[in-house]
Amino acid sequence: MIRFYVLIIALVGITGKLFAQEELTFEKAVIIGLENNYDVKIALQEKEIAVLDRKIGTGALLPSLDASYGQSTSREDVEQQFVNDSDTRNIDGAKSDNENFSLNAIYGFRADALVAIKRLGKLEEIGVLQAKVVIENTVAAISSAYYRLVLEKQRYVVLQKTLELSKTRLDIAKSQYELGSASKRAYLAAQVDYNSDLSLLLSQEQVIKNARINLNELLVVDPPKEYVVNDTLQLQEDLVLGDLLDQAFDDNKDLLIRKREENVAYLQVKELQAQRLPTLTLDGTYRQSVSESDAGFLIQNKREGLSFGATIGINLFNGFILNRRIQRAKLQQTNQAYVLDQYENQLRADIYRAFNIYVNGKRRLEIEMENYEVVEENTKIAFDRFKSGLTSYLEFRDAQVNSLEAETRLIDAVYSIKEAEIELKRLSGDIYQGRGPMGD
């Protein structure tokens, strides 16, 4: 196993310009991003909604209990005449009081409710997995943005070294021109090359600022906030294609979501089919009532007791609506199976593509490291010969440009491998294993 540990600062041989005193490590960037990123916050809220939906659905299997209490009072003038009495009875302001209290419990059992609970459980799992997908994608985005900033700063270091070399050449050309040992053309050419290198350096400063803004956006901090990032890129040991594929088909969250969605489609069919089964409803009531009246034969009437009942029902015909809903659900189940197969095929292809980039990047890195050593030696020889007047400024500029391109390609090769690593870890579901918003 070849272990690459690339310290770009050591390769370019110069310390870059520091833009702030605060240091931002990659691990700290991930923590800040997961705490602040709005996509993560929204995903966690959506996960909680899925959990509550499942709990709400569970209520269908529990009984309901209602309590009611009522009281009324009335005063009326009453005139009463009875069948066996010719006299008339008059009561002015007769008072009547009524008081009622009841508890009513109902429990309804439906076979489809049991399947619905299972379906909501799968939807809850999907909600959790979707939140993890957002977290993993956010970590991947932060990783790319962080290392992109490192890359651009290293390019700045290379351009800065090139500019310093051009300044030295300009000073030499100027001195030689003033002493008459070199032509004005060589002096002006040195000035043009220096200005060109200065322009590239200034442009790179803008690129760095934009790269930092991009990272700050993911971290949800002020766009102009500045800090020092680590200039070290540590590449992992050799990744194995077979292991990546096995892990992806076990841990890739998007794949797990599609598997759950296929289960949901299957349970949807079962839930509709269960609606053909009988339903059972049990009810019980406790009631207490008291009536008092100044008029009538009864001065007080008090009742208290329990009542129970059960109802069994079954749908005999509903216009074939249920049959058509079941047919539609089965079609959706078939489509969901196709979606799962399609994603498995896509996942396998994505891993192969990223792995090819990873392998090719490692080969490029070995070549570029060897080439960098050769170019550096060649540049040093060309500069010494230029100072001694043994080579022309064109030959020296050519060596200088070769050195710049070699260092740039070396940095690009390292970043290419790192990007492929990030993508492979994301696809295999291994990009984030720390304790964080999901409480894992």
Secondary structure class of 304 (helix, strand, coil)? strand
Nearest to 157 by CA among 13, 16, 19, 18: 16
Q: Which tens digits make up the pLDDT trace of 141-159?
A: 999 999 999 999 999 999 9
Distance of alpha carbon 167 from alpha carbon 134, whole angstroms: 49
DSSP 298: -
Per the structure block, which two tokens stand in for 88? 């008339």
Q: Is the pTM of this model over 0.75?
A: yes
Q: According to the model, what pLDDT value does residue 19 have? A: 39
Q: What pLDDT shows up at residue 8?
A: 39
> Contact, 190 vs 173, CB < 8 A?
yes
**Residues 6+ away with beta carbon under 8 Å from 435:** none
Q: What pLDDT, on the 0 to 100 scale, is given for residue 383?
A: 81
Contact partners, residue 415, CB within 8 Å, separation at least 6: 147, 148, 151, 233
Q: How far apart are CA 192 and CA 438, in angstroms?
A: 57
DSSP notation for 222-279: -TT---EE--EEEPPSPP-HHHHHHHHHHH-HHHHHHHHHHHHHHHHHHHHHHTTS-E
Two tokens, residue 96: 């009547």
Contact 244, 424 (CB under 8 A): yes
Strand-pair category, 232-234 with 228-229 = unpaired
Give the model confidence (pLDDT) of 379-422 as tens digits.
Answer: 888 888 877 777 777 887 888 888 899 999 999 999 999 999 99
Domains (ranges, CATH) in the chain?
5-60+129-279+322-427 (1.20.1600.10)
Which residues of the chain are under the pLDDT cut of 50?
1-20, 439
The whole-number pLDDT of residue 83 equals 63
Q: How many residues does the chain have?
A: 440
Question: Which residue pairs, CB below 8 angstroms and at least 24 apart, start in 203-208?
Answer: 204/152, 204/155, 204/156, 204/159, 205/156, 207/152, 207/155, 208/19, 208/149, 208/152, 208/153, 208/156
Check residue 156 and give its pLDDT. Answer: 94
Closest to 162 measured CA to CA, from 198, 186, 209: 198
pLDDT of residue 432: 85
